[in-house]
Chain A
Amino acid sequence: MRVKDLPLRFPTDPYCRALTRLMLCVDDESGDLFIGVTPDGTQAGRDMLARLSPCRGEEVLPYTVAQENGAIVLSCGEGKARLALAKPDRVVIEAEGISLLLGKGKSAAVFMGGGNAVDDALPGALYVNAGVRVRVLARVGSTSVRSSWDLNALADPDPRVFMHPDAAGKLKVEMFASDFDELPPEDEASIDAAVKETLDEFGRFLDGLCAPPKDAEALRAAYIAWSALQPPRRLAAPQISAPVYVQNRRKLGTAKLSDNVLLAALLADPGEAAGRLRAFLALENGEGAVPCEADNRRRLYESELPLFGVVFSARPDVLGALTEADFEALYRALGWWREFRYCSERGLFYYLHRYEPGCGPKAPFSENAPEFAVELNVCMLLWLSAMADLADRLGRPEAAELREARERLSAELPKLGERGFDAAGNELADDRGGSCFRLLLGKKETPERIPAAYALPLIIGAPNGADLAAKARVRGGRVLSLRRALMLLAADFAERRG
């Protein structure tokens, strides 16, 4: 799909792209333009590392900033600058008639990591904030630095890197962001090439969806989803080995297993969808647990409602793309639930800990754990079914026992009633909305209320997903996070599936 511009709602949405950490953001209060990076994990506050402004000497000039034809344009009375993002993680700036200033950001400082502008011996100048190094390299024009030091604060109170045009008034700068010292690449990027590459990549992402976005709102959701893809980085102990989709580019740089698994269902190419699953299955901890969240620096092993079966049920072709190695990884992950969350006397799966339903910290949970919950057992049934089919296709010896496990669970499921029960046998309160998961087994109805936390798997997995999407009002709301974006895309997916 040819895309003429990125469908972001600038300046509300950050200007960013897939597989890069850098972004351009506008501050709500001041309207100023900032460069930032997606935070590591839940360490918020790196979205506004340094303020970028046109200047005359030390004086910051008033300016406007807008998005035009795939780039960001900064305009002031004396000239303008175009900005775009190129790989690997650089901002490319081409300006005419103006100088630019990289100044104090709004990001939270780490210990002794506050803003610092340095004219060191390497090419260009260095702006450091919150542990991120931004090397400013003037390909045309020059750079200079103004710095001072507050011995009490152990910080530079007002670090500044200046970018000056050449005698002809032209300025071309690249800014590279890194967690540590790196020599900048020698190859030069251009705005036009960066914009074209960005738009082409986004277009390919749109082509790769099962259901092309049908309106501007869905297109924007696609942009938010696409740009949420973050690369693994070369660290001493990296915690992810493949790109993952993070929850929120500006605020929450950690990837949820549930988001990444369910996104797989929306990708047209089953091989690519399988890759989404592999990205997390590779992070299994030796007991079979797959982290519920992961990013470059951390994994959180607090198992949540497993949604693999929902994806396989909605997309049998994805199951068909899985290999022997995938089967083994999924079998280990399934094995965690069978070993640690299965009651053989009852023949049912249960939650032990209150975070396991995966619907957020404010959701209710029984005081009498464990909980034999409907949504959990439905999802396990779908997963067991898929695994049995996969084992059959691959001629695996596990096929028979998986079929048997599926049959047993299927027989026991009605005992859960509408909602399930706790350890004392009391019916669970339905405030979490887990009973809606019966829709995934073919129950044809539209419930009164679609629980927000479960809307996405329900829309993807239920035959009447489009009705559920309408009921959940996925359109017309604020879309700032990956989850909300996926719900919009899932609505189109469900409608197309019909």
Chain B
Amino acid sequence: MLFEANEKHSLLRIAYTRQNCYFCLWEDYFKRTLYLLAAIGGDMASSSDLRFDIDYLEDGKPVRYHYFGDEGSLTLRTRTAGKWSELLLTGDDFLRFRGERNTGLRLTLNSNLPGHGAIALHSAVRLPDGSVEAVMGKYGRFRFAPIRGKVEYRAEYDCEQGRYARFEVDMLPDENGCYECDVISYEGERRPAVDKRSFAELREENLRSFAEFFGKYKRLPDPWKKTEEELVYTVWCHVMKPRGFLKVPMVMMHHNALSVAMAWQQSFNACAMLGDPKTAFDLIEAMFLYQNPVNGALPVNVCPGSISDGNSQPPLQGYALDFVTKMCGEEFITREMAERLLPRFERVVEYWTTFRNVGRGDDLAYVLNPTEAGMDDASIFAKGFPAVSGDIQTLLIECMYACAILSRRAGDAAKAEAWTARADRLLDALITELWDGDKFVTKKLDGEVVESLSLACYVPVMLGDRLPKEITRRIAEKLLEEGEFMTPYGLASESTRSPLAHWGWHFTLGRVVSESNMFCVLGLWLAGEKEAAKKIADAWCGNVAERGPRLGFTPAHHYPLTGEPTDIVLMPHIGDGWSWTSWSACGTLAMLETVYA
């Protein structure tokens, strides 16, 4: 994949990084320079203090530059012929920079928060070997280590404020006009040595890693090959390696917003890894490593610096396991894998059926807040919480079926049968209680129906052929009905004729977003409504092929109901509407692999 300033693959929208690297590069829209972020602390990028602006130096002075490159490395060029600098990121906690002909680079610490400047720096010192160590609190330590040339730094401390006002590091050439420098990230006092591999070797390693990553997916036919490359890149460059609280590799959601491993994201990504179901299983299992020891809930997200366990996300793990085994068979699940995961899965089901139980004596459940719903601002929650919605019943049903699968693979047929029966009962309750003939409604605990034109009302179609044909057929009709949900870009998250539809900063109150399109496409496909599934997939995937895997899209410039112009978020800003995200990429891959591969 070719990256270049002012082209489709500019770094205005795409994070430049690679698997296992916590750094990433972006292009600043206003400055037209690159900047470096490090997603170690789990901050939203908009509130991250760890940002380095990158200036290209010629003869010691910053000059405007152009960039281009591929997954292996990036080149920075100016108007001056024959002068360049290069950089690459590695999966081993360091970056490599180099250049010739008296070029250099400057990194300036400059927080994304106004007024914070160099606040991330706690201390900077010159080490005996000529490198510079910077201690950055929760972001860890960084060493700017020259291989050729030298490193100079300026660290100005404001005693009155009690923090650094300025921190700049220059990588400067030697007497031959060449420089090469590593920026190494680590924790603790034992500093890693400079890696001995050459720039060329490291670049090859990046390209090899990217090529190998394709093996996790089913290969796609033309005309999807280019799109496939973009999607696979997007997931590959969001893979986080173990560090701090992160014990196993997981997939980050965004490099520039929620730069953490969200719980249900791992399951979304698992649904796409149909070329490597073992890795899919690992991703599903990953979040269970952080299971709450008291109540069995899974946290919302994990990153090297924190575990966010004050809430839960929707329990998508069961759906993912069910889907992957439907597409790939169950044989890849060994007895050992099943025996290890089954009790943890059962505890999650127990958590939901204990703490979110409606209280009628069955397993009907509610969600207590937007985080648990995943579809944060869907209009099915217009009357607040608790809400007895179709999506949570669906996910619980899938968790129960997943417990049946794991029981079967663990050799316990009786338990498998019991879990299947329990899932079937909850499925009956879902249909009996919430299907009104046209859609799955949401109710309050007292039974009051929440009027809603949300796509969330149809998301239970993800149960596929477990639902009666008349239901899936009706859902297919409703989703393709003119003037409702179907747009040129896929299904809108709120009917386009809803007075609540909002296409600005809201997430699932109108925009065409990846996750519910994926649920509907996969569900309809497995239910046998393949034509409907393909229509929706064509729209979503075709749009992504053109505009990239962003989290969501505005369906039109005017609201059909009122004729008013759409609410907008003035771009650019650091936020999820702007960049390519692994969530959208994996959802699109899952659709493509299901419908086209």
Contact = CB atoms under 8 A, between A and B. Distances in A.
B346 interface: no
Contact of A154 (B295, B355, B370, B383): B370
Nearest to A156: B384
Contacts of B307: 235-237, 297
Nearest to B160: A362
A151 B385 contact: no
Contact of B190 (A156, A237, A287): A287
Interface string B217-247: 0000000000000000000000000000100
Nearest to A181: B355
A131 B311 contact: yes
Contact of B188 (A287, A352, A370): A287
A297 B203 CA distance: 38
A289 B190 CA distance: 11
Interface in B293-308: 293-295, 297, 299, 305-307
Interface stretch (B23-31, B92-100, B373-381, B525-533): B373-381
B509 A151 contact: yes
B159 A362 contact: yes
A182 B293 CA distance: 11
B379 A301 contact: no
Contacts of B125: 352-353, 369-370
A122 B355 contact: yes
A120 B368 contact: yes
A180 B445 contact: no
B157 A354 contact: yes
Interface residues of B, number: 58
Nearest to B500: A151
A363 B135 CA distance: 17
A60 interface: no
Contact of A302 (B122, B190, B306, B351): B122
A180 B189 contact: no
- Most A-side CB within 10 Å, residue of B311, B359, B379: B311
A285 B137 contact: no
Given A112-B311, A118-B368, A121-B366, 17 more contacts: A112-B371, A113-B311, A121-B386, A148-B384, A180-B294, A180-B297, A234-B293, A237-B245, A285-B188, A287-B188, A289-B188, A298-B305, A302-B137, A339-B189, A354-B123, A354-B157, A370-B125
Contacts of A400: none
Contacts of B370: 112, 154
B245 A149 contact: no
A447 to B, nearest CB: 22
- Most A-side CB within 10 Å, residue of B163, B297, B369: B369
Nearest to B245: A237
A107 interface: no
A289 B297 CA distance: 33
Contacts of B305: 298
A360 interface: yes
12 contacts: A112-B370, A113-B311, A113-B369, A116-B369, A132-B310, A151-B509, A182-B295, A289-B188, A289-B189, A297-B306, A352-B123, A361-B163
A110 B138 CA distance: 19
Contacts of A342: none
A110 B306 CA distance: 14
A354 B354 CA distance: 51
B135 A234 contact: no
Contacts of A152: 377, 506
Given A110-B310, A236-B290, A237-B307, A180 B386 contact: no
Interface in A109-166: 110, 112-113, 116, 118-122, 126, 128, 131-132, 147-149, 151-152, 154, 156
Contacts of B358: 121
Interface in B259-300: 289-295, 297, 299
Contacts of A119: 386, 445
B153 to A, nearest CB: 12
Nearest to A303: B189
B10 interface: no
Nearest to A132: B310
Contact of B291 (A121, A126, A128, A236): A236
A213 B382 CA distance: 57
B82 interface: no
Nearest to A154: B370
A297 B244 CA distance: 12
A154 to B, nearest CB: 5
Contacts of A151: 377, 379, 381-382, 500, 509
Contacts of A369: 125-126
Report the 6 A-B pairs with minimum CB-CB distance, sorted nearest first. A149-B384, A361-B162, A131-B310, A121-B359, A353-B123, A181-B355
B357 interface: yes
Contacts of B371: 112-113
A131 B190 CA distance: 37
Given A112-B371, A180-B309, A237-B245, A154 B385 contact: no
Contacts of B310: 110, 113, 131-132, 179-180
B187 interface: yes
A112 B309 contact: no
B124 to A, nearest CB: 8
Interface string A352-388: 1111000011111100011000000000000000000
B306 A182 contact: no
A62 B274 CA distance: 64
A340 B135 CA distance: 15
B102 to A, nearest CB: 29
B381 A120 contact: no
A236 B293 contact: yes
Contacts of A128: 368-369
Contacts of B368: 116, 118, 120, 126, 128
Contacts of B289: 236
B295 A181 contact: yes
Nearest to A370: B125
A1 interface: no
Given A151-B509, A287-B189, A297-B306, A116 B385 contact: yes
B260 to A, nearest CB: 11
B340 to A, nearest CB: 17
Contacts of A147: 384-385
B117 to A, nearest CB: 14
A336 interface: yes
B123 A355 contact: yes
A263 to B, nearest CB: 25
A44 interface: no
Contacts of A148: 384
Contact of A355 (B122, B245, B385, B386): B122
A66 interface: no
Contact of A340 (B189, B294, B506): B189
A120 B160 contact: no
Interface in B498-515: 500, 506, 509
A295 to B, nearest CB: 12
B505 to A, nearest CB: 9
Nearest to B383: A149
A300 interface: yes
Contacts of B445: 119-121
A118 B355 contact: no
Interface in A290-327: 297-298, 300-302
A149 B41 CA distance: 32
- Most A-side CB within 10 Å, residue of B189, B245, B371, B382: B189
A302 B386 contact: no
Contact of A118 (B160, B189, B354, B386): B386
Contacts of B354: 183
A298 B500 contact: no
Contact of B369 (A112, A237, A355, A370): A112
A345 B506 CA distance: 64
Contacts of A301: 187-188
B184 to A, nearest CB: 17
B247 to A, nearest CB: 9
- Most A-side CB within 10 Å, residue of B245, B305, B355, B356: B355
